[in-house]
Amino acid sequence: MIKGKLINLRMIKQSDLDELIPLVSDTLEKGEFLNPNMINEVMYRKRYQETGFWNEEFGMLIITDKNGRLLGDISFFKGVGYLPGYEIGYSIHRSEDRGKGYTSEALKLFSAYLFEIKTIHRLEVHANKDNTGSRKVAEKCGFTYEGMKRQAVFSRGEYCDLAIYSMLRHECPSFTEMIKG
Domains of the chain: residue spans and CATH: 2-180 (3.40.630.30)
What's the rounded mean pLDDT across residues 140-161? 91
Q: What angle do CA 119, 103, 67 make, to 5 degrees?
A: 105
From 12-21, 55-64, 77-86, 120-129, the region with the lowest mean pLDDT: 77-86
pLDDT at 15: 94
| Contacts of 46-55 spanning 24+ positions with Cβ under 8 A | 48/12, 48/14, 48/17, 52/11, 52/12, 53/11, 53/12, 54/11
For residue 37, pLDDT over 80 is answered with no
How many CA atoms are closer than 13 Å to the CA of 32, on its beta-carbon side?
7
For residue 24, pLDDT over 90 is answered with no
Mean pLDDT, the chain, rounded, equals 90
For the CA atoms of 46, 47, 53, 55, what is the dihedral angle to 10 degrees?
130
What's the rounded mean pLDDT across residues 121-140? 94
Give the CA radius of gyration of the chain: 16
What's the rounded mean pLDDT across residues 106-131? 95
pLDDT at 177: 86
Contact between residue 46 and residue 40 where contact means Cβ atoms under 8 Å apart: no
Residue closest to 12 by CA, chosen among 4, 21, 158, 3? 21
pTM of the complete model: 0.91
Residue 157's pLDDT band (boundaries 50, 70, 90)?
Answer: confident
> What is the β-pairing status of strands 7-11 and 58-65?
antiparallel
pLDDT at 123: 97
Return d(Cα 73, Cα 91) in angstroms, integer: 6
Residue 81's pLDDT band (boundaries 50, 70, 90)?
Answer: confident
